Amino acid sequence: MTKKRIVITGSSRGIGLEMAKILIGQGHIVYGAVRNPEGASDLQAAGPAGILKLDIGDEESINNFCEELAGTTDSLDILVNNAGITSNDLGADRRQCNPWQIDPGTVLEETRINALGPMMITRGLIELLEAGENPVVLNTSSQLGSMVVGALMPFDVAYNVSKAAVNMITVMSASTNKNIAFVALHPGWVKTDMGTEAAELEVPEAAGAIIDSLMSLTIEDSGRFIRWDGTDHPW
Ligand SMILES: NC(=O)c1ccc[n+]([C@@H]2O[C@H](COP(=O)([O-])OP(=O)(O)OC[C@H]3O[C@@H](n4cnc5c(N)ncnc54)[C@H](OP(=O)(O)O)[C@@H]3O)[C@@H](O)[C@H]2O)c1
């Protein structure tokens, strides 16, 4: 197996942490990006190649992170833009954030963090990715970013809009860069802090399936929106 150089944002907990653990176990070179490296004890215990500080909502932090990574490795094969928030993280109640209720500032802030953060991280790492082997950028979206499913689950317009923006950024990246595969991912409804205990998938089940799908992606897949199991998700 070829060892891949992989960056995972938001790898302190949830899906990102589980993906990091599995990929490290498979022998890959994993760099975990977290807001608070000192507090990332579970990630530390998994033995990553590095733990780097990154706040995806802070442009200076993104610049520092990209610089630090460029000083650490000369290429990257996979970037998993996994970190993300819901309106709960911005102090709202996400069940009561439909278009008639939400503070417009919440929509802007959530889109800035969930969509523009990953876009700027990808931009900052583009040279490392261009130097990678069969490079892939996996942008974590959600079924709620789909026009089809989002319309059926109209609770949190800030989250749905931010993930729809992730999808658009993914297809635009795919159409303007033909060297890297850009793929949007619905990771499933997963039992994390965000997904809650009511969710359908256990974290290891989702993370394992996402990794299997991720490892089979090639440039031919660029511009797709996939589910955790690699099947096409409707836009
Ligand atoms: N769980 C689901 O059912 C589900 C469904 C569809 C899509 N998703 C998406 O899947 C991704 C992972 O979700 P999850 O369920 O694993 O969520 P989670 O358990 O709530 O974990 C979120 C992760 O994102 C990090 N994060 C949040 N804001 C950040 C920021 N400003 N800068 C850097 N890191 C930040 C958190 O770091 P801290 O520990 O520092 O807070 C944490 O590592 C998200 O993009 C989410 O939208 C999840």
Query: Which residue stretches of the chain are H helix?
Result: 14-25, 41-46, 59-70, 104-111, 117-124, 126-130, 147-152, 157-176, 203-215
Residue 127 lies in a domain: yes
Q: Does the CB atom of residue 32 touch ligand 1 within 6 A?
A: no
Which CATH number goes with the domain that contains 41? 3.40.50.720
Residue 232 lies in a domain: no
Residue 111 lies in a domain: yes
pLDDT value at residue 1: 72
- pTM comes to 0.98
Query: Residues 119, 145: contact at Cβ < 8 Å?
Result: no
The one-digit pLDDT tens for each residue of the chain (235 residues) are 789 999 999 999 999 999 999 999 999 999 999 999 999 999 999 999 999 999 999 999 999 999 999 999 999 999 999 999 999 999 999 998 999 999 999 999 999 999 999 999 999 999 999 999 999 999 999 999 999 999 999 999 999 999 999 999 999 999 999 999 999 999 999 999 999 999 999 999 999 999 999 999 999 999 999 999 999 999 9
Rounded to the nearest angstrom, the gap between the alpha carbon of residue 87 and the centroid of all alpha carbons in its chain is 17
Q: For the CA atoms of 127, 139, 84, 97, what is the dihedral angle to 10 degrees?
A: 130
pLDDT value at residue 143: 98
Residue 157 lies in a domain: yes
Q: Which two tokens stand for residue 75?
A: 């290429």
Residue 69 lies in a domain: yes
Sheet holding 5-9, edge to edge: 50-53, 29-34, 5-9, 78-81, 136-140, 181-186, 225-227
Q: Does the CB atom of residue 36 touch ligand 1 within 6 A?
A: yes
DSSP helix/strand/coil, 18: helix
Q: Does the CB atom of residue 53 touch ligand 1 within 6 A?
A: no
Q: Does the CB atom of residue 230 touch ligand 1 within 6 A?
A: no
Q: Does the CB atom of residue 139 touch ligand 1 within 6 A?
A: no
Q: Which residue segment(s) compose the domain that 18 sits in?
A: 5-227
| Ligand 1 atom at minimal distance to the Cα of residue 10 | 43
Q: Does the CB atom of residue 82 touch ligand 1 within 6 A?
A: yes
Residue 110 lies in a domain: yes
Distance 113 CA to ligand 1 centre (A): 11
Residue 234 lies in a domain: no
Report CA-CA distances (Å) from 217 to 46, 150, 203: 25, 26, 21
Protein residue with its CA nearest to atom 32 in ligand 1: 55
Q: Does the CB atom of residue 55 touch ligand 1 within 6 A?
A: yes
Q: Which two tokens stand for residue 177?
A: 């860069």
pLDDT value at residue 227: 98
Residue 193 lies in a domain: yes
Q: Which residue of 17, 18, 22, 35 sits with most ligand 1 atoms within 8 Å of its CB, as the best mutation to test the pocket?
A: 35
Counted domains in the chain: 1
